Amino acid sequence: MLSIDKYAYENRIVNWSPKLKALLWLVGITLAFQPVQWIKAVVLVAVAGITVYVTKVSVRRYLRWFYAILPFVILSIIGIVVTVASDKASLLWPLKVGSVYLGMAKVMLPQAGRVALQCMTAIVCTYWFALTTPFIQILQVLKAAHLPRMMIEVTMLMYRFIFIFVDAFEQIHRAQKLRCGYDSVGMTIHSSAVLAKMLFEQVIINYEMMTKALDAKLYDGEFYI
């Protein structure tokens, strides 16, 4: 069982109605996108604390789940604040490039902070929903919302393959670290290339295994959920 599935099936509120949990998640997302900043901060801290308590996950492990997301948030912030201007007074840490200056726009820093807080609040709320709701319950919510069958099936397959991919990544990366595969820059580059190759092969292998399993069960083109 994957770690997120484990917490989803063993948390303190696993028996709550999935529709209620979906409604609470929707409320959290709505609060994440409303304009009052202090409400976002309160929701962020409160939902993170509730998630740790309800799922019984350690704080360290919970924070580690943000490592893969933070680079995308940081890149989004950089895209907002970094700009080119002819007046260096409007920039923070200006760097002269030819006849213009490259730096962080002072006027955009508050906007970047708002976007970062908004993103992190939405992510924390989504983590709460994913860690407290087994995937079968998520499918029940999607069916209750009368979403197209094809969309539900694609969601199910994406969920399966994403977490198979994550699980394979963790196993391969752990094995490489135990063999000192990241002790130098050269070894890190080599290990990263091997990791990418093995992950691609693992995805193909899992796809073939799933195809054979479906053929053995006389799959007729429709998943019965």
Q: What does the chain come to in residues?
A: 225
Strand order in the sheet with 100-105: 82-85, 100-105, 91-97
Give CA–CA dist 1/18, Å, rounded. Answer: 21
What pLDDT is attached to residue 39? Answer: 94
CA-based nearest residue to 48, from 22, 75, 28: 28
pLDDT at site 191 = 85
pLDDT, residue 196, reads 83
Q: Provide the residue-wise pLDDT of the chain in tens; the chain has 225 residues.
A: 456 778 888 889 988 999 999 999 999 999 999 989 999 999 999 999 999 999 988 888 888 888 778 878 888 888 888 887 777 777 777 777 777 778 888 777 888 889 899 999 999 999 999 899 988 888 888 888 888 888 887 787 777 777 777 777 778 888 888 888 888 888 888 888 888 888 888 878 877 887 787 778 777 666 665
- The CA distance from 8 to 134, in Å, is 5
Q: What is the pTM of this model?
A: 0.73
What are phi and psi for residue 93, nearest 5 degrees? Answer: 55, 60
DSSP secondary structure, 71-99, as one string: HHHHHHHHHHHEEEES-GGGEEEEEEETT
Backbone angles phi, psi at 97, to 5 degrees: -130, 100
Please enumerate in sequence order all residues whose Cβ is within 8 A of that of 191, keeping only pairs 6 or more positions apart, or say none.
176, 181, 182
Three-class SS of residue 147?
Answer: coil
Burial readout 159-170 (b: 16 or more C-beta within 10 A, e: otherwise): beeeebeebbbe
Q: Is 191 exposed, middle or buried (0-12, 13-18, 19+ CB in 10 A)?
A: buried
**H-helix or E-strand containing 93?**
strand 91-97
* Cα–Cα dist 10/50, whole Å: 15
Spatial CA neighbour of 118 closest among 224, 33, 180: 33
Burial classification of residue 93, based on how many CB atoms lie within 10 Å of its CB (0-12 exposed, 13-18 middle, 19 or more buried): exposed
